[in-house]
């Protein structure tokens, strides 16, 4: 009796991923100004603080923001604050000021990728403290964000852990997620509104410009990337 060699096993399909920016993408507004408005309401920020924030947001939209300098300046105000206190504050802020601005189209896009079995993650320049409440609302299991240094007692030192999740730093942090969860950035989808995300948008297989700023819109049109309004 002749034995037949077993048929070779088909390779398992490679995981794919869907990465989502937060501000002006999954959230229709930029969250930093919403946070400063919340701080004003609870007596922790002045009108001048809000004006400065809106100026930085305008620079960010135009792709002119010196992110390293601005982050260093902002984080000094957190020095000595407990991580637990900021987490509780961000949860309260999200419920009162942000949740109403979650994009319905963004929810639907996340759901489509989840149903397709894709690894879903929010990849944002914001901190994890302002991002996790959104991730929990949308059942997104992974957050890639700017990391803040915390001392052994659980208080912020006023310094970020570099690289910031911004520009090329966002690529570096997203690649660490890809390596940890078995997908390739070069085969992923990334949704973003900002020219600052051009390094990651240029790397992935499916870049999608969502509510793009003027510079990103021009590049997306030139390169034939999808442009959507959420």
What is the DSSP secondary-structure string of 131-171?
HHHHHHHHT--EEEEEEEEE-TTSBEEEEEESSPSSTHHHH
Mean per-residue pLDDT of the chain: 89
Active site residue 23: yes
| Candidates 21, 118, 193, 213; catalytic one | 21
Q: Is 136 inside a domain boundary?
A: yes
Distance from the first to the final alpha carbon of the chain: 65
SS3 call for 188: coil
Give 47-77 pLDDT, tens digit per residue. Answer: 666 666 665 666 666 565 666 777 777 788 8
pLDDT at residue 3, as a whole number? 46
Q: Is 223 inside a domain boundary?
A: yes
Q: In angstroms, rounded to a whole number, what is the distance separating the alpha carbons of residues 156 and 86?
A: 10
Decide which of 38 and 4 is more confident.
38
Q: Is 8 inside a domain boundary?
A: no
Q: Which residues contact 47 (CB under 8 A, 6 or more apart)?
A: 40
- Res. 18: pLDDT tops 80: yes
pLDDT at residue 55, as a whole number? 56
Range of weakest confidence among 32-36, 85-89, 155-159, 185-189: 32-36
Q: In angstroms, rounded to a whole number, what is the distance separating the alpha carbons of residues 15 and 145?
A: 22
Decide which of 77 and 218 is more confident.
218
Domain that holds residue 53: 17-228
pLDDT at residue 166, as a whole number? 93
Q: In angstroms, rounded to a whole number, what is the distance separating the alpha carbons of residues 99 and 29?
A: 11
Average pLDDT rounded to a whole number, residues 174-199: 97
- Total count of residues recorded for the chain: 230
Q: Is 192 inside a domain boundary?
A: yes
Q: Report residue 189's pLDDT band, with 50, 70 and 90 as the boundaries.
A: very high
pLDDT at residue 56, as a whole number? 64
Active site residue 197: no
pLDDT at residue 39, as a whole number? 81
Q: In angstroms, rounded to a whole number, what is the distance separating the alpha carbons of residues 230 and 27?
A: 9
Average pLDDT rounded to a whole number, residues 3-23: 71
User: CA 179, 180, 183, 189: dihedral to nearest 10 degrees?
Assistant: -100
Contact 164/146 with Cβ under 8 angstroms? Answer: yes
Give the number of domains in the chain: 1
Q: Is 142 inside a domain boundary?
A: yes
Q: Is 10 inside a domain boundary?
A: no
Q: Is 218 inside a domain boundary?
A: yes
pLDDT at residue 71, as a whole number? 72
Q: What is the CATH number of the domain that holds 148?
A: 3.40.50.1000
Beta-strand pair 227-228/206-210: parallel
Q: Is 4 inside a domain boundary?
A: no
pLDDT at residue 72, as a whole number? 74
Q: What region, left, alpha or beta, does residue 224 occupy, with left being phi > 0 and alpha being psi -120 to 50 degrees?
A: left
**Backbone angles phi and psi of 120, in degrees to 5:** -110, 140
Angle formed at CA 45 by CA 40 and CA 46, multiple of 5 degrees: 90
Contact 1/77 with Cβ under 8 angstroms? Answer: no
Contact 82/155 with Cβ under 8 angstroms? Answer: yes
| Candidates 23, 118, 197, 213; catalytic one | 23
Q: In angstroms, rounded to a whole number, what is the distance separating the alpha carbons of residues 110 and 138?
A: 8
């Amino acid at each position: 009796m002749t034995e037949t060699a077993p048929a070779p096993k088909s390779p398992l399909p490679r995981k794919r991923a869907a990465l989502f920016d937060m501000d002006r993408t999954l959230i229709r507004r930029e969250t930093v100004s919403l946070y400063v408005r919340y701080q004003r309401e609870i007596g922790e920020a002045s009108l001048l603080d809000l004006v400065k924030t809106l100026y930085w947001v305008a620079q960010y939209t135009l792709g002119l923001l010196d992110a390293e300098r601005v982050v260093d300046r902002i984080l000094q105000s957190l020095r000595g604050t407990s991580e637990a206190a900021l987490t509780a504050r961000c949860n309260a802020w999200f419920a009162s000021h942000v949740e109403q601005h979650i994009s319905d189209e963004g929810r639907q896009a996340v759901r489509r990728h989840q149903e397709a079995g894709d690894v879903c993650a929010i990849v944002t320049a914001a901190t994890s403290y302002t991002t996790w409440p959104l991730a929990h609302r949308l059942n997104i299991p992974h957050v890639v964000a700017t990391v803040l240094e915390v001392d052994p007692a659980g208080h912020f030192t006023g310094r970020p852990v570099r690289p910031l999740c911004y520009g090329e730093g966002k690529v570096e942090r997203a690649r660490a997620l890809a390596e940890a969860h078995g997908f390739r950035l070069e085969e992923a989808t990334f949704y973003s509104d900002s020219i600052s995300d051009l390094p990651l948008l240029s790397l992935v297989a499916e870049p999608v410009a969502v509510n793009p700023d003027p510079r990103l819109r021009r590049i997306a049109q030139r390169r034939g990337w999808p442009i959507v309004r959420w």
